[in-house]
Structure 1
């Protein structure tokens, strides 16, 4: 399977808009991930892979972090998220998901789970 393309030009305005309007949970987690704060890994926010824009991406680890708010809590959205995750995993990425409230209520556990998904 061919390698997926990253940060397609036509998605740039969307990525920029998303970066400028992070959800509270994304902004909170970003403070922990930016500037290589988590074990020296570089994360990008609102990074696109093919036509998907993922919340956070670490190229070194091929790791994608998705945060899910209430908008994801219905059968249609869950099915869409599952298909999207499957496609990203087929391309060789590891995808981990957290509910927004987990980031606020259990930040140390969230960071530990992210670290546990590093290839060591």
Structure 2
């Protein structure tokens, strides 16, 4: 796996974010942590290339972002698209889910993650 330089401020922010997860982030984390989702190794609030992503599976170069309603606004949506493009240029695949989808339908969210990760999971 390629390693990207992580500024100390990003490392500190990631630590803070791990301690104050949203309800949706906590629910998904409980499904994916400790290789619980088909053996996929996920990390939470992981710094990658100047960004802090919600969840990342480095083995599959897969990022999972959970978005609240503020991400529906035009400016946030454009920023999210630029961020995803930058990460995809580095070889990462980004999946985005609404917080509400995670809260109400965690099984289908997890199923979609597994499908995108590929059939060769453990």
TM range (shorter): over 0.9
Alignment of 1:1-120 (within 5 A): 5=4, 7-119=6-118, 120=120
Q: Relative to 1, partners in 2 of residues 1:78 and 1:27: Cα closer, same or farther, differing over 3 Å?
A: same
Q: CA RMSD in A?
A: 1.3
> Quick check: 2:49–2:87 contact (8 Å CA) kept in 1?
no
> Quick check: 1:44–1:56 contact (8 Å CA) kept in 2?
yes
Q: Relative to 1, partners in 2 of residues 1:42 and 1:8: Cα closer, same or farther, differing over 3 Å?
A: farther
TM-score (norm 2): 0.91
Give CA-to-partner distance per residue, 1:94-118, whole Å, 9 cap, x none. Answer: 1000000000111111000000011
TM-score (norm 1): 0.93
Residues matched between the structures, number = 118
Shift of 1:7: 4.3
Give CA-to-partner distance per residue, 1:47-78, whole Å, 9 cap, x none. Answer: 01121000000011100000000121200000
Q: Distance in 2 between matches of 1:57 and 1:79?
A: 21
Q: Distance in 1 between matches of 2:84 and 2:3?
A: 14
Q: Structure 1 residue runs of 4+, over 6 Å off?
A: none
Identify unmatched segments of 5+ residues in structure 2: none
Q: Larger helix proportion, structure 1 or 2?
A: 2
Q: Distance in 2 between matches of 1:5 and 1:63?
A: 16
